[in-house]
Structure formats: structure tokens, C-alpha cells
Amino acid sequence: MNPFDFLYFYSEQHTCWLTMVKVYLIFAHLFIVVSLQGQQIKNMSSSLQNKELVINYELESSRPARVEVYRVFRKDSVLKVPEKYLSGDFGIYVEPGNEKKIYWNMNSIDSLKSVHVEVELRAKSFIDMVGVNSGAFLMGCTSEQPKCDKDEKPVHKVTLDDFAISRYEITNEQYCVFLNEEGIDSDGRDGRISLIHIGNSHCQIKYTSGLFVPKEGKAEHPVVEVTWNGAQEFSKWAGGRLPTEAEWEYAARGGHKSKQTIYSGSDKVDSVAWYVGNSRDHAHPVGSKKPNELGIYDMSGNVWEWCYDWYEDYSAEHKNNPEGLKRGNSVVIRGGSWLYYGSFCRVSNRGSSAPSYAFNNYGFRLVRKKLD
């Protein structure tokens, strides 16, 4: 039996593939491809040891990366190798370094000499980031925004420096890596600080056998039941922070590519957002609707997103890189969610919540000073 009968087709729009090796189970041909986002696999080799293919490589990267193994049949047919066949340095979170090894179990191959396997390693960022160019914009209830609330006024000019923002809302599988790497208590607390309400039935992460893992089918859903403190701590651990409210709105509007739409990327809410009218009462995997002008997903709908700022009223003055109050009673949330009407998904709409609160429709995304 050929083990690749069990493989499934896989494709991803933003994959950065780096290295391919043709394996005849006796010798290998190595091809190096230039990295697109700062992750590069180098010095790859392979050998067959007791019906196990051992792939050696080096991961050159400024940050941890996702590393995946594929079998290539032809240019338009690529199959991802299921994790049950693999062990070693692969998966969602691999630290940079030399002497990385992946072990591929090939016990079910009948005749090793007759099998031709072409293998490809792909590496990409643990968190996919999008660069946002510096610029000035009008923040608040601009002319295309219908039925604004009072706290969206007055419209005011804001100037921002360059920054990078995560393409997707942070997912359950990404948040589990943080919880496990940091050794967070099984109840989701770091000392006295609650990061995520693990005990809540709406939480999509569970603690089992000494590890935090996503519940079945929820790995690619946005993490929910996470507090503002929990979002802050993840962001620091990942080398960034939460977006300021101004950064959030500028990115949601499409930055310097903005087409002045009501929602993030469209005037039609159904094309870009999961909201009460189409969500079927639950959040959905990140990136399942259309992106905005910058290629960022779910800034309208799916889950509310925690921002860095404490909530305050707007003023008319021109501001540069505003960060809001140093302290307040509640913090800003943005974007609307699967539980709310489409009007809450408008790019200028504002919300607020106590930082200790966590709900089944609250999540977040990450910002860094630059794209790397």
C-alpha cells in the first residue's frame, strides 16, 4: 500500500514555499528557493533510516516559523503530508536554528526502491503580517459612514508611522502555543491575572494531558474568551502589541489604498463580514471572507478585536500616532462580530469593554513596528 493514498489536497493563498528535495529513497536532489518573508530553509538533505525518511535542514529566520512537509506530484498537484506520519521539527511553531530534523514514517511502503517521492518543505511566518505604509487619514464618521453614533464624532485627522498588522485574527492554535510556551496555569491564569476563561463552555481551547489544545475543528477559528490582559500578554510574547485604535481604523479602511468603503473592503457587509445576518450564531475560521484593500481579513465582523487604547471621546485636533489615555474605565474594541448587526461592522464604529471581561465574540490581532 502506498502511504500517500492517505494524503489530502491542500492549498493556501499566502504560502511562502522555500525548499524542495526529490527523494528516490537512495539519493536526493536539492533545490533552494528565495524566501519571501524572512524565513529560509537551507542546507536541506535526507536519508532513509529503517523505513523512516529523515529530513535535515536549517531554519534561518528572525522569528519562529511554521514548517510544513508536502509531496509534489507535478507543478499543479501538491499534497500536504498529514501530521500523523511526521515527528520532529515541523508544524505551527519551529524555533530558528541549525540541525533541524523531520522524521517521516514510511512503514506502509511495500517496495522502497520502486517509490519515487518528491518532497517540498514550506516555511512561513508563525503570524502572517501585512505592512501598512505611513500616512494621514480622516478618522471617525466620514461621509460614507451611515447612521454614525455620537462617539464617532468629530471627524479628525490622524497621521501614523509605518507599522505591520496581522493578516488574520489570532487563532486558537496560535494562542495555545503561547499558553504552552509560557507555562500558563491550567485554568488560563498567569498568577492572579486571567488571560483566557478556559472554564467557560464557549472557550474553544481545552487543557488536557498537560497541554492547551484547540477543541476539535476549532484550530483556525479566532481565539475567544480572551481578556484584554490575555491579548496584551500574547502580543508582548510575540514581539508586538495590540493595535492602537487609530492604527486599527487606518488598517481597516485599507490604509493608503483605501476606497472609502463602509465596511473593511466593501460596501456590502456579506462579502467581508460574519455578522448576525449570516453567521449562523457562531464565529468562523479566519480568512473565510474577502480581504480588504491591504489583504487583511475579518476587520469587519467575526469577532470584536481588543485595541491598545483606553476608551475616550474624540477631539477635533490633528493627532500623530495617538495612543489614548494612560488609564481609564474601559478599553476600546473594534470591528463588530458574528453576534451583532451589520451596522456594528462599519470601519468607524466604536465599542468598549472592561479589560477583565471575556466573551465568546471577543478576540484580537497583533501589531509590530515593522514587517520582518
Q: How many CA atoms lie within 13 A of 22 on its CB side?
A: 5
Separation CA 262–CA 32 (nearest Å) = 44
pLDDT tens, 74-92?
767 888 999 999 999 999 9
At residue 6, the pLDDT reads 32
pTM, 2 dp: 0.89
- Domain borders along the chain are 3-125, 129-368
At residue 110, the pLDDT reads 54
At residue 1, the pLDDT reads 33
Separation CA 261–CA 263 (nearest Å) = 6
- DSSP 3-state of 249: helix
Separation CA 278–CA 259 (nearest Å) = 24
Using 70 as the pLDDT threshold, list the residues of the chain that sit under it: 1-38, 75, 108-116
At residue 24, the pLDDT reads 43
Record the cell numbers describing residue 335, joined without a space: 470591528
At residue 10, the pLDDT reads 31
Does the domain made of 129-368 have the CATH classification 3.40.50.720? Answer: no
Separation CA 210–CA 186 (nearest Å) = 8
At residue 123, the pLDDT reads 94
At residue 113, the pLDDT reads 52
The answer to whether 331 and 233 are in contact (CB under 8 A) is no
Separation CA 76–CA 174 (nearest Å) = 29
- DSSP 3-state of 105: strand
Separation CA 198–CA 220 (nearest Å) = 17
